[in-house]
Amino acid sequence: MVQARKRKHVREAALPIVDVARDRQRLAKLLPDIDPGDLDLILTSLARPFGSGRRFFLREIKPGVYVY
Amino acid sequence: MSIKKRTLGGSFTSPAIERYWAKPSSAHASSDEAFVLAVLDALRKVRLEAIVVGSVAGILQGSPVTTQDLDLLVRDTPTNRRKIQALGAALGGRPRAITELSSALRIDLPAATIDVLFDQLSGNLTFQALRARSLSVSLGGQTALVARLEDVIASKEAAGRPKDLAQLPTLRDTLRVKKTLGRT
């Protein structure tokens, strides 16, 4: 139990944090037609360097069933 | 629709990708990123000049989309056809025709599928034109020739399949954000 909690802690401590608040504030005024949720998604995606653990392939293991 | 967590039988990687994943420089890489690196490494080893096109080109430029395959554009020459066979062998797969109506080849691998397209993309986007505008992107010690986001968008507009049209708003918005941030 303690070990499981410790592992969870280590995993969470290793999670990358992306702060896009400043860019979001600026861009929301310049690009008001982009949905705020989409803008956050794009900014966080742009902020993640290649090799940081991003997943983007969907594999179809049988018709209509995917794993990512 | 349901999402289940379960142990999947079989592996979604291959020895070529496992080797990449094990490298210290790829310590934080996902299996998808390791797959891209393994493909770039294999391209370099077989000396096949290929442009990363399609959704993965968009992803490598920060677009938050998902895909089912890695699309590569190459020149259709006998030498390149041989190199594509070597590419498949290096990655543990065998290139096969996708359909009788198309010259494109597909390499099915446990981690993902590679589609090799020849000479041009939808929208009369030729290899030469795409190459001239492409970005040379450094990824984990490898270099990738990547089609510009503008060309990815143009090819998807021309292809017009539902899955292409569905990604277009996100790709266009990503391009607008990048331009506004001065990152193009």
Q: Which of B176, B178, B179, B183 to mutate to test the interface with A (most CBs of A within 10 A)?
A: B176
Q: What is the pLDDT of residue B120?
A: 96
Q: Does B33 touch chain A (CB under 8 A)?
A: yes
**Beta pairing, strands A59-62 & A65-67:** antiparallel
Interface confidence (ipTM) of the complex: 0.81
Which residue among B65, B111, B176 places its CB closest to the CB of A31?
Answer: B176
Cβ <8 Å between B67 and A60: no
Position of tokens 């996100």? B170
Contact between B56 and B114 under an 8 Å Cβ cutoff? The reply is no
Q: Which residue of A has its CA nearest to B66?
A: A56
Cβ <8 Å between B180 and A27: yes
Cβ <8 Å between B180 and A38: no
Find residue B118's DSSP bridge partners.
B74
Contacts by B78-84 with C-beta closer than 8 Å and gap 24+?
B80/B48, B83/B46, B83/B47, B83/B48, B84/B48, B84/B116
Which residue among A50, A53, A59 places its CB closest to the CB of B140?
Answer: A50
Q: How far is B78 from chain A (nearest CA, A)?
A: 30
Going by pLDDT thresholds of 50, 70 and 90, the confidence category of residue B6 is: very low
Q: How far is A9 from chain B (nearest CA, A)?
A: 17
Greater pLDDT, B125 or B10:
B125
Spatial distance between the Cα atoms of A1 and B70, rounded to a whole number of angstroms: 42
Q: What is the pLDDT of residue A59?
A: 84
Average pLDDT along chain A, 68 residues, taken 10 residues at a time: 65 71 93 96 92 89 83
The secondary structure element, H or E, covering residue B140 is: none
Structure pTM? 0.85
DSSP of B28-43: T--HHHHHHHHHHHHH
Spell out the domains of chain B, with CATH numbers in brackets: 15-176 (3.30.460.40)
Which residue among B56, B112, B181 places its CB closest to the CB of A23?
Answer: B181
What are the angstrom distances between the C-alpha of A31 and each of A34, B62, B182? 6, 18, 14
Contact between B34 and B11 under an 8 Å Cβ cutoff? The reply is no
Contacts by B10-17 with C-beta closer than 8 Å and gap 24+?
B10/B110, B11/B110, B12/A59, B12/A67, B12/B110, B12/B111, B13/B110, B13/B111, B14/B38, B14/B91, B14/B92, B14/B93, B14/B109, B14/B110, B14/B111, B15/B92, B16/B41, B16/B42, B16/B90, B16/B91, B16/B92, B17/B109, B17/B110, B17/B111
Give the number of residues written for chain A.
Answer: 68
Contact between B174 and B181 under an 8 Å Cβ cutoff? The reply is no
Residue B3 pLDDT exceeds 90: no
Residue B179 pLDDT exceeds 90: yes
A 10 A CB-CB count for A31 gives 16
Q: What is the share, in percent, of chain B residues with pLDDT greater than 70? A: 85
Residue B13 pLDDT exceeds 90: no
Q: Which residue of A has its CA nearest to B183?
A: A46
Q: How far is B123 from chain A (nearest CA, A)?
A: 25
The secondary structure element, H or E, covering residue B177 is: helix B162-181
